[in-house]
Amino acid sequence: MLETPPRYPIRVLEFRSVRGTGGGPEKTILLGAARSNPEKYKITVCYIRDKRDRIFGPGSKAVGLPVEYLEVIEKNSFDFGIVPKLRKIIRDKNIDIVHAHDYKTNFFAALLAKTDKIIPLSTAHGYTGHTRREQFYYRADKIILKRFPKIVAVSSELRNELVSKGVPGNAVEVILNGIDPDLFKRDKSKCAAARETLRLPPEKTIIGSVGRLEPQKNYDLLLEVFAELNKNNKNIFLLIAGDGSLKTHLESRTNQLNIEGSCRLPGHQSDISLIHHALDIYVQSSDYEGTANSVLEAMALETPLIATDVGGTSELIRDKIDGVIIPPRDRNALINAIKHFLNDKETSISMTASARRRIETELSFAKRMEKLELIYDTLMLS
């Protein structure tokens, strides 16, 4: 506990830039803002939005939430013309802390800290891009973060990466992502209707995954493994929900592997609970992650879970207790893990119950927010 409480309310600008529908961090940012105590933490969520982006999603996710939500429109990437707009928001809202969530907003937060009396804070969600431009920005970001008084890393692996690049170790604190156990809760009576809505065969065992259709998710491996299992087991069906640059490629792969009749790629699905109510097994096949919200969702919704040992996954799942952890890109390990769940229903039930208990205690959203709010308090006293 802090010996001297800070001045309340602490005014925080949650600051993020993203294209398209966004991802896991959007849930963390918006739900966190919605659950903050406004008498102590007055949160404004601000997104930088590229005017060329026609499918921008965070604004629609904010609708219906008790969240003060703003957008700043940029003409192109790194549009310095938005700086006066950002400074006006800081003045009008009397912002104390600018909490950035990506390399672009980290840059602007560092810039604003030089001109306005704000404290920059960053949450590092992971460096998962694969283009040359993204790799350049990631290197620059790690240099910028050396000047931040505090950085939240969503996994120990990410913390170690930042420290290895010269970010002071005492400035980086690990806070694992959390999830609201009340919002994500399985109701077995909804399973049949979920399958009907998603046009899935009611009699088959449904294996599924949810995520951006990008290289890091390695859905090629999941398709190949499913095709191998499907040769001798026609009672299984695969669902991969999400959108991204590889959608056309993955659809072509289903044809090449002769599984187009046993697989669906329905695109982006906003109702995660609906999907999990239709699934029997969840697979996260990623080559790399920060701390995947999709893993937390599977744990909360009691879907038997297989996940690769990347990013913060092994800090969320206890292997053989809450789910099964396998090495990334390990075809045989993934085949054996799926077979295990197909053949051992008793173990599946035990693991999902254990995962749910972990969500209700150690990985609840409330616990994550307590840790984050303590950082806000500490920054205001430093």
User: Domain limits of the chain?
Assistant: 10-178+364-381, 188-360
Asked whether the domain spanning 188-360 has the same topology as the one spanning 10-178+364-381, the reply is yes
Mean pLDDT of 261-278: 95
User: pLDDT by residue (tens digit) across 284-317?
Assistant: 999 988 778 899 999 999 999 999 999 889 999 9
Structure tokens at 344: 């051992």
188-360 has which fold?
Answer: Rossmann fold (3.40.50)
Mean pLDDT of 68-88: 95
Mean pLDDT of 370-375: 95
**Interatomic CA distance for residues 240 and 259, integer angstroms:** 13
For residue 225, the model assigns a pLDDT of 98
**Interatomic CA distance for residues 42 and 31, integer angstroms:** 14
Q: Which long-range contacts (CB under 8 A, 24 or more apart) does 242-246 make?
A: 242/209, 242/210, 242/211, 242/212, 242/213, 242/217, 242/267, 242/268, 242/269, 243/20, 243/21, 243/212, 243/213, 243/267, 243/268, 244/212, 244/213, 244/214, 245/213, 245/214, 246/213, 246/214, 246/215, 246/219
> Which residues make Cβ contacts (< 8 Å) with residue 113, sequence separation at least 6?
98, 119, 120
10-178+364-381 has which fold?
Answer: Rossmann fold (3.40.50)
Confidence (pTM)? 0.85
For residue 1, the model assigns a pLDDT of 55
Our CA angle for 314, 133, 147, nearest 5°, is 70
For residue 3, the model assigns a pLDDT of 63
Structure tokens at 24: 């896991």
User: pLDDT by residue (tens digit) across 132-167?
Assistant: 999 999 999 999 999 999 999 999 999 999 999 999
